[in-house]
């Protein structure tokens, strides 16, 4: 090995560095152009989940007189910290579905979700899941979760991430127990799963 | 573009500019969709929602983006796309990582300088089991064969991680994490053939023994061909590896997860070694066939109460029989670790842990290498605690931690760190850290005598023996590290990660020459030219590491990284010099007809081992790898890769063991994977 060969091959650092900086600058330019013309087509997981919750109001029938008073809103309860709350507030603001506005209620440790029609139990609450489901299952509440085996454990609808999309699992016997009817249009896009109790 | 053979980096970068600009121009038409804000999307029907692709950031990735350390992850997808066949090859993807192949079976891996065959400042764990060897302070990479298809990810923290991970996590921690048995259900058979990795067969089967009790069993055999050296001859370094093992995971819908896993491997490597003798011939070079084997069994219990409360208890036994080139080393490790994480009020996330490790090391002595004593019993006890204080929830965190470690080789070590994490918005993270770490001297640096060479100074004179002595008074090497980083995601599809560091080292172990003496035993009487280890080195290193990920389109991703390293260590010639500059660009492109085209280009600046030890300078080089994967069926995947396409061969590392350096050749690899 002779040293001159090494020198011949040695990196000319300055050229290289200058080019890398130019490359980075181009990336920056691209990024700016992309900020200007950015497409808003893609949604986050929690934005999609929030949109689903609104749709559930349309495609689920609660027993008559579940909501007292014709002007009272449909109440969505949120159990556990989640980015869904923020997304839901934005998308539900001022909307009325079936002639009712939408109220969002954060459920604390007291588990007082009796005024809710929909109860979302976030992944963060997965270890209180059974306790919450036990209490909610006898009430006309659509329980919605996102944990492993949520529907199998007696939840009614579970969000599942599949190939970058949010899909649904529905436990029909749990829905029946709660006195809810789920429209065929909703069932058509969901996987029907059996609960462990079935 | 890939036909560019001569090494002219500036031309390369021009080509890269075109590469980058092209899609920008082409993409302009794609991004001009009418803007619509999320609040207006309430009318999306249920049928539309089902098909909306979400740009969610997985939990782990969120943590990564907002983590107060220079952390990078090599994913299972990276490994699959680039057809990577070993852990060191996968580590090339990490920004700023210095990975150099020494010969067919050995790699030198380091971060932030000090590259050597035993990257002594990196701690490497495979599924929580340390593979750092206490005798030579490093990792035998050829003994760390794994089923690459079953890896979940490789997490790499550059910089000290001593508070959580303990001694020797000085310049980095590498965590190789395999998938849960739940994620590897069914049959997988893969076979590959190539010019360097000649053939490899993997069979894995995963099933469910009982409800929620998953298992997998696997076996793998690989044969690697020998590589040529710079004299055009074979390096005689062909090797093969056989591996078998299992993993069982019990994941009931309760807070408890139990894991039991075990491996056994056997490998044969034809490796060059030296026979030293005081009678002529003084040094004989041998290509002996060496065998290495080892096995381990590990159990882990994880009890998760909530997101912020988790307890892990882990224990393992590991046995290694490694041929060191001078004799066989037997190493047994017994380890138990407990870690507990919980919230203290709403402001503190607290984690503490404790662990005990017992190791016995036995080295068969030879004339070349003797260990005093031959059998060593090492005991290591540690206890640590770290608190993550939310000064402003979701915005400003202060992390303070400390570890006390008692090693039977040296005195107590204290390894504290303090980190500040500021996330002004969801898409920006700033962090800064000060930490202290220690590297325990290896047994080699403490208690050995290495007779490295012998020669005849003059025809009538007595022979001369060149020896290196360990020093029982060696103490741990110390690092005080200052780091800062910035991550930003200006748009969903683009992110940047910039880290800067300044490392101050003290008490570095170097070889200091002793006066020449006359030694009568062993006979014949000879001159002794020797050196001993002393904590006489010191200095600092500093540098920046920049990486960027860009999802150009839904089907095209680019990753680039650049690193720059400055080294000021004294005595200069006693330390390995890692490349000052490194650059890499990776491209993952999904094509129609179930095709994926993946490529990577690495530019590596020149480097050198310690010049005082006779290492040569390694010139800079470019590696370019390109691969095409075809997945015509859900159960079938066929891949073809070309590696080092630009140069017919290049040298990546200078080794003392061989007179001529081993060259990494251009190579091809074809692989078929079937899953049922």
Tell how far CA B208 is from the center of its chain: 32
Q: Which of A138, A116, A126, A139 lies closest to A56, judged by CA?
A: A116
Q: Which of A131, A188, A123, A197 lies closest to A160, judged by CA?
A: A123
Q: Are B608 and B616 in contact (CB under 8 A)?
A: yes
CATH architecture, range B9-675: Beta Barrel (2.40)
Nearest-Cα residue of chain A relative to residue B606: A10
Mutation for testing the B interface, residue in A42, A50, A52, A129 having most B CBs under 10 Å: A42
What is the reported pLDDT for B302?
Answer: 87
Q: Which of B647, B13, B24, B526 lies closest to B276, judged by CA?
A: B526
Q: Is the peptide bond before B239 cis (omega within 30 degrees of 0)?
A: no
Neighbouring-strand partners of residue B505: B479, B539
Which residues from A are below 8 Å from B42, CB to CB? 51, 54, 91-92, 95
* pLDDT at residue A2 is higher than 70: no
Element at B370 (helix H, strand E): strand B369-371
Average pLDDT, chain A: 75
Nearest-Cα residue of chain A relative to residue B604: A11
What confidence tens digit (pLDDT) does each residue in A19-75 have? Answer: 555 555 544 444 433 333 333 346 778 888 999 999 999 889 998 878 877 788 999
**Phi and psi for A22 in degrees, rounded to 5?**
-60, -40
A19 touches chain B (CB under 8 A): yes
What is the reported pLDDT for B587?
Answer: 94
Neighbouring-strand partners of residue B561: B547, B584
Element at B22 (helix H, strand E): helix B9-27
Which tokens in the block code for residue B590? 């999904």
Neighbouring-strand partners of residue B499: B485, B545
Q: Is B350 helix (H, G, I), strand (E, B) or coil?
A: strand
Answer yes or no: do A10 and B31 touch at CB < 8 A: no
* pLDDT at residue A99 is higher than 60: yes
Q: How far is B317 from chain A (nearest CA, A)?
A: 33
Which residues from B are below 8 Å from A187, CB to CB? none
What confidence tens digit (pLDDT) does each residue in A101-150 have? Answer: 899 988 877 778 888 999 999 877 767 788 888 888 888 999 999 877 78
Nearest CB among B17, B33, B548 relative to A41 is that of: B33
What is the reported pLDDT for B27?
Answer: 35
Which tokens in the block code for residue A131? 């306790």
Cα(B437)–Cα(B418) distance, rounded to whole angstroms? 12
Question: Domain-by-domain residue ranges, chain B?
Answer: 9-675
Q: What is the CA radius of gyration of chain A?
A: 25
Cα(A142)–Cα(A175) distance, rounded to whole angstroms? 7
SS3 track for B633-650: ECCEEEEEEEECCCCCEE
Answer yes or no: do A124 and B306 touch at CB < 8 A: yes
Which residues from A are below 8 Å from B14, CB to CB? 19
Q: Is B446 helix (H, G, I), strand (E, B) or coil?
A: helix
Q: How far is B3 from chain A (nearest CA, A)?
A: 18
Q: Is the peptide bond before B524 cis (omega within 30 degrees of 0)?
A: yes
B308 touches chain A (CB under 8 A): no
What is the reported pLDDT for B619?
Answer: 86
* pLDDT at residue A192 is higher than 70: yes
Q: Is the peptide bond before B267 cis (omega within 30 degrees of 0)?
A: no
Q: How far is CA B493 from CA A140, A164, B66, B94, B156, in A?
A: 42, 15, 17, 20, 23
> In sequence order, what DSSP letters do the residues of chain A get, joined into one string?
--HHHHHHHS--HHHHHHHHHHHHHHHHHHHHHHHHT-----B-HHHHHHHHHHHHHHHEEPPTTSSSSTTPPEEEEEES--THHHHHHHHHTT-EETTEEEEEEEE-TT---TT-SEEEE-GGGTTTHHHHHHHHTTSS-EEEE-STTTTTTT-SEEEEEETTEEEEEEEHHHHHHTT-EE-HHHHHTEEEE--TT-
Answer yes or no: do A43 and B32 touch at CB < 8 A: no
What confidence tens digit (pLDDT) does each residue in B251-276 have? Answer: 876 678 899 999 999 988 876 677 78
Q: Are B302 and B324 in contact (CB under 8 A)?
A: no
Angle between helices A45-59 and A84-92 (to 10 degrees): 50
- Flag whether the pTM goes above 0.95: no
Q: Are B625 and B587 in contact (CB under 8 A)?
A: no
What is the reported pLDDT for B120?
Answer: 67
Dihedral in degrees, nearest 10, Cα atoms B165, B168, B173, B174: -110
Which residues from B are below 8 Å from A12, CB to CB? 9-10
What is the reported pLDDT for B172?
Answer: 87
Q: How far is A168 from chain B (nearest CA, A)?
A: 8
Answer yes or no: do B56 and A87 touch at CB < 8 A: no
pLDDT beneath 70, residues of chain B: 1-43, 53-63, 116-120, 253-254, 271-272, 305-308, 613, 655-659
Q: Are B179 and B185 in contact (CB under 8 A)?
A: no
Which residues fall within 8 angstroms of residue B152, CB to CB, at 6 or more apart? B76, B177, B178, B179, B180, B183
> In sequence order, what DSSP letters do the residues of B227-269 get, joined into one string?
-BBTTSSB----EEEEEEEEEEEE--SSSEEEEEEEEEEEEEE
Which residues from A are below 8 Å from B585, CB to CB? none
Which residues from B are below 8 Å from A87, CB to CB? 38
Which tokens in the block code for residue A11? 């990196």
Which residues from A are below 8 Å from B47, CB to CB? 185, 189
What is the reported pLDDT for B108?
Answer: 86
Q: What is the CA radius of gyration of chain B?
A: 26
| Residue B611 CB coordination number (10 Å) | 16
What is the reported pLDDT for B4?
Answer: 31
Q: Are B351 and B312 in contact (CB under 8 A)?
A: no
Mean per-residue pLDDT for A170-182?
91
Which residues fall within 8 angstroms of residue B34, CB to CB, at 6 or more apart? none
What is the greatest pairwise CA distance in chain A?
93
Nearest CB among B37, B46, B304 relative to A40 is that of: B37
């Amino acid at each position: 090995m002779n040293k001159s060969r090494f020198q011949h091959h040695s990196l000319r650092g300055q050229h290289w560095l200058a080019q890398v900086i130019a490359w980075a600058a181009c990336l920056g330019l691209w990024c700016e152009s992309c900020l200007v013309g950015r497409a808003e087509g893609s949604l986050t997981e929690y934005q999609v989940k929030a949109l689903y919750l609104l749709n559930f109001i349309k495609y689920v029938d609660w027993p008559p007189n579940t909501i007292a008073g014709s002007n009272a809103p449909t109440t969505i309860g949120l159990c556990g910290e989640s980015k869904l709350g923020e997304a839901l507030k934005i998308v539900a603001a001022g909307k009325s579905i079936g002639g009712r506005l939408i109220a969002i209620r954060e459920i604390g440790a007291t588990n007082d979700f009796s005024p809710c029609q929909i109860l979302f139990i976030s992944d963060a609450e997965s270890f209180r899941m059974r306790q919450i489901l036990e209490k909610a299952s006898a009430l006309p509440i659509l329980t919605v979760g996102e944990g492993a085996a949520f529907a199998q454990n007696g939840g009614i609808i579970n969000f599942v991430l599949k190939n970058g999309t949010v899909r649904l699992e529905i436990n029909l016997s749990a829905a029946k127990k709660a006195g809810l009817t789920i429209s065929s249009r909703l069932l058509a896009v969901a996987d029907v799963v059996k609960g462990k109790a079935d | 573009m890939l036909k560019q053979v001569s090494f002219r980096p500036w031309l390369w970068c021009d080509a890269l500019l075109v590469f980058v600009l092209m899609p920008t121009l082409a993409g302009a038409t794609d991004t001009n969709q009418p803007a619509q804000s999320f609040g207006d999307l309430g009318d999306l029907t249920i049928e539309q929602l089902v098909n909306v692709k979400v740009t969610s950031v997985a939990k782990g990735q969120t943590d990564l983006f907002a983590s107060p350390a220079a952390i990078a992850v090599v994913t299972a997808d990276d490994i699959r796309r680039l057809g990577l066949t070993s852990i060191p090859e996968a580590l090339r993807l990490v920004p700023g990582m210095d990975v150099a192949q020494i010969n067919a079976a050995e790699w030198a891996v380091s971060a932030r300088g000090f590259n050597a065959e035993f990257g002594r400042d990196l701690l490497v764990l495979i599924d929580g089991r340390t593979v750092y060897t206490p005798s030579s302070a490093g990792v035998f990479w050829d003994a760390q064969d794994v089923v690459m298809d079953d890896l979940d990810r490789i997490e790499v923290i550059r910089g000290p991680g001593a508070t959580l991970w303990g001694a020797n996590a000085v310049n980095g921690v590498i965590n190789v994490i395999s998938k849960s048995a739940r994620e590897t259900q069914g049959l997988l058979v893969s076979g590959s053939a190539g010019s360097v990795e000649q053939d490899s067969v993997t069979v894995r089967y995963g099933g469910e023994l009982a409800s929620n009790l998953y298992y997998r069993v696997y076996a793998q055999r690989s044969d690697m061909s020998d590589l040529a050296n710079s004299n055009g001859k074979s390096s005689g370094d062909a090797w093969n590896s056989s591996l078998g093992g299992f993993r069982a995971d019990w994941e009931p819908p309760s807070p408890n997860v139990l894991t039991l896993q075990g491996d056994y491997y056997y490998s044969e490597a034809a490796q060059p070694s030296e026979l030293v003798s005081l009678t002529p011939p003084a040094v004989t070079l041998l290509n002996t066939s060496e065998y290495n084997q080892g096995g381990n069994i590990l159990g882990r219990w994880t009890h998760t109460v909530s997101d912020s409360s988790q307890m892990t208890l882990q224990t393992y036994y590991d046995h290694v029989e490694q041929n060191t080139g001078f004799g066989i080393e037997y190493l047994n490790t017994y380890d138990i670790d407990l870690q507990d994480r919980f919230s203290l009020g709403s402001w503190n996330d607290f984690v503490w842990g404790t662990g005990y490790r017992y190791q016995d090391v036995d080295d068969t002595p030879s004339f070349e290498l003797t260990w005093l004593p031959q059998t060593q019993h090492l005991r290591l006890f540690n206890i640590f605690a770290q608190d993550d204080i939310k000064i402003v929830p979701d915005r400003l965190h202060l992390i303070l931690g400390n570890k006390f470690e008692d090693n039977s080789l040296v005195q107590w070590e204290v390894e504290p760190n303090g980190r500040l994490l500021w996330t002004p918005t969801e898409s920006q993270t700033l962090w800064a850290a000060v930490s202290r770490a220690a590297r325990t001297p290896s047994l080699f640096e403490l208690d050995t005598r290495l007779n490295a060479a012998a020669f005849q100074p003059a025809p009538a004179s007595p022979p001369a023996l060149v020896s290196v002595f360990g020093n029982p008074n060696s103490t741990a090497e110390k690092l005080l590290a200052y780091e800062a980083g910035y991550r930003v995601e200006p748009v969903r599809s683009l992110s940047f990660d910039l880290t800067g560091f300044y490392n101050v080292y003290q008490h570095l172990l170097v070889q200091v020459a002793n006066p020449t003496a006359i030694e009568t035993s062993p006979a014949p009487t000879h001159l002794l030219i020797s050196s001993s280890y002393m904590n006489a080195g010191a200095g600092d290193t500093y540098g920046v590491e920049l990486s960027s990920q860009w999802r150009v389109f839904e089907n095209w991703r680019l990753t680039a990284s650049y690193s720059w390293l400055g080294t000021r260590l004294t005595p200069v010639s006693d330390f390995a010099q890692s490349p000052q500059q490194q650059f890499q660009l990776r491209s993952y492109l999904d094509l129609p007809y179930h095709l994926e085209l993946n490529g990577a280009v690495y530019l590596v600046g020149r480097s050198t081992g310690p010049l005082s030890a006779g290492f040569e300078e390694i010139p800079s080089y470019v590696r370019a790898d390109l691969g095409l994967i075809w997945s015509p069926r859900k159960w079938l995947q066929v891949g073809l890769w070309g590696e080092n396409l630009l140069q017919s061969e290049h040298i990546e590392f200078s080794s003392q063991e061989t007179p001529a350096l081993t060259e990494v050749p251009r190579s091809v690899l074809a692989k078929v994977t079937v899953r049922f």
